Structure 1
């Protein structure tokens, strides 16, 4: 049985059924068990994202790349948490109370003016490469206000998301942060 790693949270973070925490000091990795030889598919990727999205409503989550595995529980504190503890704590502190929001305006006529109310609420924003989407880092409490602000503008609004777009470049670690 291998362990699939989903994200890093604080050790007291509540988790949904079907996953558990592997802790080290004040940090934890959210894990689930996967039978040896089982390959992951699109449904697994969607479940991974949905689970992380649900978890961000209870506190910050540093998401790990989909398909990240550990051979055993003992490796997680040694290989994941301890070597990156300072970075992980920094991410969790910075993301506390914040979530990522994606907005795609399907009609170009609306332009940046339609995004201005969302941008005003955001701590940070980035254009997502290869898409016409913008990502915003918003306080969780402002997500519905932002959704309402673009509701009449033929917009696709996706939230809350873990803050994938607002972490250090993925090249910094094989784990995704």
Structure 2
């Protein structure tokens, strides 16, 4: 039986009641692990459960999330993996994340509204050949991205004001804006309220999450990111 490695915490971190996690101590830190019963890749459902488990760790203190799907053959290997990341650097990261967490905001704009907003700035040509049509489509997409980003800056200004860091995430559609914010835990409800109060756009707020997008914990020879992006 091998282990799933979920994250790095302080050795005195309080684990959620009833969780499958246990701590493998490394000096004053610990690796959060759970048993890995099968030698296979995680399913989508298991990856979602792993993310939920990481989120449940946040109330107990700062968490440095490891890439979902990271494994080790035993506790000794888990300690070795943590040491490879540099204990001093891990301590610094944990200190920086004391009292903060990542929040995600997803804004979904109506496509007709977006097209009307950028239409006057477009230089479209009628009866165009296929290459021109493709170029025009790319031009429209670029204009919409610029429009939605400027509008999102305004709409999300109250959230940005309480965040210590902001990251732009890749959205699936050109009419969507996804951002990650590193915010104080005591501002989580205020962020949710600010997003819920937004008008003229469909908005979804998710979190608090471990700081997936504000850390780089991988050794230089690590494999590429998982298909879930963490």
* TM-score relative to the length of structure 2: 0.71
Correspondence list, 1:1-177, <5 A: 1-16=1-16, 17-81=19-83, 84-107=86-109, 108=148, 111-130=152-171, 132-153=177-198, 154-168=202-216, 170=218, 172=220, 174=222
Conserved 8 A contact 2:26-2:82 = no
Post-superposition Cα deviations, 1:76-114, rounded to whole Å, max 9, x if no partner, equal 223323651011111101011110011111135953221
Task: Output the CA distance in 2 between the equivalents of 1:145 and 1:74.
Answer: 42
Structure with bigger helix share is 2
Gaps of 5+ in 2: 110-147
Decide whether aligned partners of structure 1 residues 58 and 42 sit closer, same or farther in structure 2, where only a CA change above 3 A counts: same
Q: Secondary structure at the match of 1:66?
A: coil
Q: Secondary structure at the match of 1:65?
A: coil
Decide whether aligned partners of structure 1 residues 83 and 128 sit closer, same or farther in structure 2, where only a CA change above 3 A counts: closer
Task: Output the CA distance in 2 between the equivalents of 1:87 and 1:148.
Answer: 35
What number of residue pairs does the alignment pair up?
A: 177
Q: Displaced runs of 4+ in structure 1, greater than 4 A?
A: 169-173
Decide whether aligned partners of structure 1 residues 106 and 171 sit closer, same or farther in structure 2, where only a CA change above 3 A counts: farther
Task: Output the CA distance in 2 between the equivalents of 1:65 and 1:27.
Answer: 18
Conserved 8 A contact 2:20-2:34 = yes
Task: Output the CA distance in 1 between the equivalents of 2:107 and 2:25.
Answer: 41
